[in-house]
Structure 1
Amino acid sequence: MAEPAEIAGRVAPPRRRLSVVRVFLGIVLVVALSTGGYLGVQWWGSAQAAEAYNPWFAGYVDVTATPTYDFEASTAQAGNDVVLSFIVAATDDACTPTWGTHYTLDEASDELDLDRRLARVKQLGGQVVVSFGGLLNTELGTSCTDKAALVTAYADVLDRYEVTTIDLDLEGDNLTDTAAATRRAAAIAELQTDRRAAGDDLAVWLTLPVATSGLTEDGTTMVSAMLDGGVDLAGVNLMTMNYGSSRDADETMAEASVRAVTAAHRQIGTLYSRAGTELTAATVWGKIGITPMAGQNDVPGEVFGLDDATALNAFAREQKIGRMSVWSLNRDITCGSNYADVTRVSDSCSGIDQGDTKFVDLLGEGFTGRPVEAAATVTTDEAKQIESVVDNPATSPYPIWAEESSYLEGTKVVWHRNVYQTKWWSRGDLPDNPVLNEWETPWVLIGPVLPGETPIPKPTLPAGTYPDWDGTAIYEKGDQILFDGVPYESKWWNQGESPDAAAGNPDGSPWTALSDAEVKKLLDALPE
């Protein structure tokens, strides 16, 4: 995540239109077509997932940035809860937690009045999450090689600030260090187990960078390390910002973010599956967080505007995302007239004209849960719920997938109450086979089977448009006929081959049904 450009005289590297909501939601189907399907499970998820869903919003606050942001004085409902960043290792002691290397916990109390300000947050009904790591400094798990000392360092922060939710923001060397990942997971797992045994909650979020194709390889490796190490992750918070070359030139930041989040949803479900825990699609959505960067991003030309915030919030609420944040509350304001170059990222303003509108209000709309209440959620395997899903042809818009059937490019099927479409010829490829990358599967997850759906009939043409199929007739390549009103075209010479077999064996049948688009064109051309 971005960090302050200037802190108490210390210079650091610069940290880092869509219209109405209904129009934006129309792109979600298109976005789905660009990403591969992962676990195709029932669209409504399990009753447990629905009951546990408790989405919350908390904006990041850069504790050591100047000018100081008065997070304790927020009057906005969405601004009551905050994610304080960043706890990192001291430069002279690898196992000592500090705020940005500049203040120990005691020094932050004395010089920043941090303890008193946090007490005020709680007086006003706010809640606090603490974030470890960030882009510029060394996360404790990276530097502290003594596991017992590392557990103590994490515990000191939790106890000092009485938090039940922590955020591990892993970027740069903190993300790529595999030895540190194993060590960090072991320490966090021990801490979480001990706290839960004592009746205390500890929710652990991983905050990771994404491209529009989803999590990076380092990101998926980090998630696996935490799961394999025994950590019960509350979820993965995606930094939907700074896409660079992965973002299409004509894509808005909200559209790019939807692509990134949709791809990450597949990856996270797959990673849980590989770790031995099967989750419904609904549960995985609840384990996703989204954190855009307000206004001007670090990448030139990438601006996350107010319309993007409205659209991304609509998508998040539609999918029942578990958490929403923003980087950062420090920046959620229009730059003053003395700030000459708004394209240069500022730590204290967004770089765009917000008027009186706040990103915190747009992004936080509808996120009524609280971090403390959500921290009580424990992940449980949902394999039985997934296995119990039975696809009924009478309530499915398309044929049920069959292992022995072959499917041409563009064919739609139903599997585990979800609709999939082929990207290329497929036979025997399970539509919900867990894969990390969309190119590993021929199937695209389009979306769930909706309540009340029935089989979509093939469009028909009026009698006489083409000759009816005759089992005794000889047909040459390109001949067109009607079979129960559905138009078919012959792929090669044949006789006595019924078009009825084309759906179940598209490769072996000499007949192929005309596409819906072709039939519509023919219908439009018919005289009134």
Structure 2
Amino acid sequence: MSAADPGAAAPVTLTAPAVKADRPRRRLSVVRVFLGIVLVVALSAGGYLGWQWWGSAQAAEAYDPWFAGYVDVTATPTYDFEATADLAGNDVVLSFIVAATDDACAPSWGTHFSLDEASDELDLDRRLARVKQLGGQIVVSFGGLLNTELGTGCTDKDALIAAYAAVLDRYDVTTIDLDLEGANLTDSAAATRRATAIAELQADRRAAGEDLAVWLTLPVATGGLTEDGTNAVSAMLDAQVDLAGVNLMTMDFGSSKDADETMAEASIRGVTAAHRQIGTLYSRAGTELTDATVWQKIGITPMVGQNDVAGEIFDLDDAKALNTFAQEQKVGRMSLWSLNRDTTCGSNYADVKRVSDSCSGIDQGDEKFVALLGDGFTGRPVAAAAAVTTDEAEEIGSIVDDPATSPYAIWAAESSYLEGTKVVWHKNVYQTKWWTRGDLPDNPVLNEWETPWVLIGPVLPGETPIPKPTLPAGTYPEWQGTVVYEKNDMILFDGVPYESKWWNQGESPDAAAANPDGSPWSPLPEAEVKKLLDALPK
């Protein structure tokens, strides 16, 4: 990503000093047995733990999100990332490592400097040593929009692995971020080649007791990842790469953004859709993950201030709203493009609508995006690099929905559901977009239009069934099995008003919930019941 580039892309993640071989990797499964016991005890006492079933509690135990802002290493004027005073800016993502113009298997900084030249002309090695001396950690980004990512240009697998390794070894990092966009994203042969090389590199490093976390940085629309984006994730998973996560570039939405949406609202829509897609991609690859774990595998990177698309401005309020959302959902990573731009433009920069790579284009006052977006992200990249993805199918399969602690009826395969019906499934509330029968609410689909269900949110602690609105006795006749009812007749059944859809006799309204299509009775909409209650004499 580059503020000066149209359609700027999001950079990559490279982590600080390598974790030593005797340092145990954090496995999400370590706490599961303990939490399972806690849950059983809690349920036996009639309690309910967790925001989103016990998988959420397990994931929250391991939750340690990190923040690192992107720095454009070769931008002019040079940004002194090593001198940053903000705690949130101590950890940085340096961009971009790309293929050299004269050797596609040689890593370079933006095609301008080889690794040695960057040390000599930018004093980069010394500046990175200073970052580490001050307690900061380094993340390196490969790719970007304008140049050729190593996996795209270098067709020799061994040479490609060596090129990636040279960067990791030179800068002593344990996290890499592959920023794929443009031709680097659409080249399917490159995707396979890159994934194969990264899988081998990661396996070799882990076998040697070293951590290697791999992030994909991908463009996102308000409807989620593009098809090229989902293909990129699939290529990595098919090659057995253990992805640390997918970093979503929430910027430059273009026509996918509604005119009345704020940038934060558009970003949240895109991230939420991508969350479903990422969970589905893991499921299709044979790894089942809880919703909470998938959130931890998501990163968010907005372009602060004026975006490359005219009229798209990510302001300070957007930063606050996006940070709140990220903390509520417990996303694993937050970044920004870029630290270079996190300042108000000077008086000699007249046209703030033209994107600058050294200022945001808005009046920030005394505030910094790095502080607003990084608030609450207290983890560090190098610690997060130790995490290893584990299958959670057993946990998901063990979820049992309790009618006594569910606000709506539990989904059943044999039941049919009319548009607008809400159900509970796997401790989440779903609502139908159209009539459906037999469609799993959490069926893994990549696109919203493939499922009749919309995820509303988790069942909350302490919830109980929401009572159906009732009317006083005598408002309508009580239902009787021996009475013949005509279309539009009204009755009460346990106080709940129903309307007859056709002639019937002996058909209990009790069956309407399980078989709304086949039942001759339809419960009166809640809004209508409230109107009737309001009209009754007080």
Q: Structure 2-normalised TM-score?
A: 0.91
Q: Give CA deviations for 1:423-454 in whole Å, capped at 9, x if unaligned.
A: 10001111111000010011111111111111
Q: State the 1:519 CA deviation.
A: 1.3
Residue 205 of structure 1 contacts residue 236 of structure 1 at CA under 8 Å; is this kept in 2?
yes
Q: State the 1:396 CA deviation.
A: 1.2
Counterparts of 1:50 and 1:156 in 2: how far apart (Å)? 35
Corresponding residue of 1:148: 158
Q: List aligned pairs for 1:51-66, cutoff 5 A.
A: 51-66=61-76
Counterparts of 2:174 and 2:58 in 1: how far apart (Å)? 22
Moved more, 406-415 or 470-479: 470-479
Which residue type is aligned with residue 479 of structure 2?
Answer: W
Q: State the 1:84 CA deviation.
A: 0.1
Which residue type is aligned with residue 173 of structure 1?
Answer: A
Corresponding residue of 2:176: 166
Corresponding residue of 2:81: 71
Give the match's secondary structure for 2:497.
Answer: strand
Counterparts of 2:197 and 2:457 in 1: how far apart (Å)? 39
Say yes or no: does 1:94 pair with 2:104. yes
Corresponding residue of 1:403: 413
Q: State the 1:473 CA deviation.
A: 2.0
Corresponding residue of 1:338: 348
Change (3 A) 1:110 1:273: same
Q: State the 1:52 CA deviation.
A: 2.4
Q: Give CA deviations for 1:266-293 in whole Å, capped at 9, x if unaligned.
A: 0000000000000000000000000000
Structure 2 unmatched ranges of 5 or more: 10-50
- Give the one of 506, 518, 522 matched to 2:528: 518
Corresponding residue of 1:2: 2
Q: List aligned pairs for 1:276-425, cutoff 5 A.
A: 276-425=286-435
Which residue type is aligned with residue 100 of structure 1?
Answer: G
Which residue type is aligned with residue 176 of structure 1?
Answer: T
Say yes or no: does 1:254 pair with 2:254. no
Give the match's secondary structure for 1:446.
Answer: strand
Say yes or no: does 1:443 pair with 2:449. no
Residue 313 of structure 1 contacts residue 364 of structure 1 at CA under 8 Å; is this kept in 2?
yes
Counterparts of 1:182 and 1:192 in 2: how far apart (Å)? 15
Which residue type is aligned with residue 2 of structure 1?
Answer: S
Change (3 A) 1:14 1:245: closer
Residue 412 of structure 1 contacts residue 421 of structure 1 at CA under 8 Å; is this kept in 2?
yes
Q: State the 1:96 CA deviation.
A: 0.4
Give the match's secondary structure for 2:125.
Answer: helix
Which residue type is aligned with residue 231 of structure 2?
Answer: T
Which residue type is aligned with residue 104 of structure 1?
Answer: S
Counterparts of 1:476 and 1:485 in 2: how far apart (Å)? 20
- Percent of matched pairs sharing the same residue: 84
Give the alignment's Cα RMSD to 1 decimal.
Answer: 1.3
- Give the one of 178, 187, 209 matched to 1:177: 187
- Give the one of 199, 208, 211 matched to 1:201: 211
- Give the one of 202, 224, 237 matched to 1:227: 237
Change (3 A) 1:49 1:429: same
Counterparts of 1:221 and 1:174 in 2: how far apart (Å)? 12
Q: Give CA deviations for 1:321-371 in whole Å, capped at 9, x if unaligned.
A: 000000000000000011111111100000000011000000000000000
Which residue type is aligned with residue 265 of structure 1?
Answer: H
Residue 242 of structure 1 contacts residue 298 of structure 1 at CA under 8 Å; is this kept in 2?
yes
Residue 99 of structure 2 contacts residue 105 of structure 2 at CA under 8 Å; is this kept in 1?
yes
Which residue type is aligned with residue 86 of structure 1?
Answer: F
Change (3 A) 1:391 1:91: same
Corresponding residue of 2:17: none
Give the match's secondary structure for 1:315.
Answer: helix
Give the match's secondary structure for 1:181.
Answer: helix
Residue 165 of structure 1 contacts residue 372 of structure 1 at CA under 8 Å; is this kept in 2?
yes
Q: Give CA deviations for 1:27-78 in whole Å, capped at 9, x if unaligned.
A: xxxxxxxxxxxxxx95442555233221000000000000000100011010
Q: State the 1:526 CA deviation.
A: 2.0
Residue 3 of structure 2 contacts residue 355 of structure 2 at CA under 8 Å; is this kept in 1?
no
Corresponding residue of 1:191: 201
Residue 8 of structure 2 contacts residue 308 of structure 2 at CA under 8 Å; is this kept in 1?
yes
Residue 268 of structure 1 contacts residue 284 of structure 1 at CA under 8 Å; is this kept in 2?
yes
Corresponding residue of 1:485: 495
Give the match's secondary structure for 2:295.
Answer: helix
Which residue type is aligned with residue 243 of structure 1?
Answer: F
Give the match's secondary structure for 1:420.
Answer: strand
Counterparts of 1:48 and 1:202 in 2: how far apart (Å)? 23
Counterparts of 1:379 and 1:224 in 2: how far apart (Å)? 15
Q: List aligned pairs for 1:108-123, cutoff 5 A.
A: 108-123=118-133
Give the match's secondary structure for 2:265.
Answer: helix
Q: State the 1:514 CA deviation.
A: 1.2
Moved more, 470-479 or 224-233: 470-479
- Give the one of 436, 441, 458 matched to 2:468: 458
Change (3 A) 1:195 1:14: closer
Say yes or no: does 1:502 pair with 2:502. no
Counterparts of 1:521 and 1:305 in 2: how far apart (Å)? 43
Give the match's secondary structure for 1:424.
Answer: coil
Corresponding residue of 1:23: none
Q: State the 1:231 CA deviation.
A: 0.6
Counterparts of 2:503 and 2:308 in 1: how far apart (Å)? 61
Q: State the 1:4 CA deviation.
A: 4.1
Counterparts of 2:528 and 2:417 in 1: how far apart (Å)? 19
Counterparts of 2:457 and 2:426 in 1: how far apart (Å)? 11
Corresponding residue of 2:439: 429
Change (3 A) 1:149 1:48: farther
Counterparts of 1:330 and 1:525 in 2: how far apart (Å)? 63
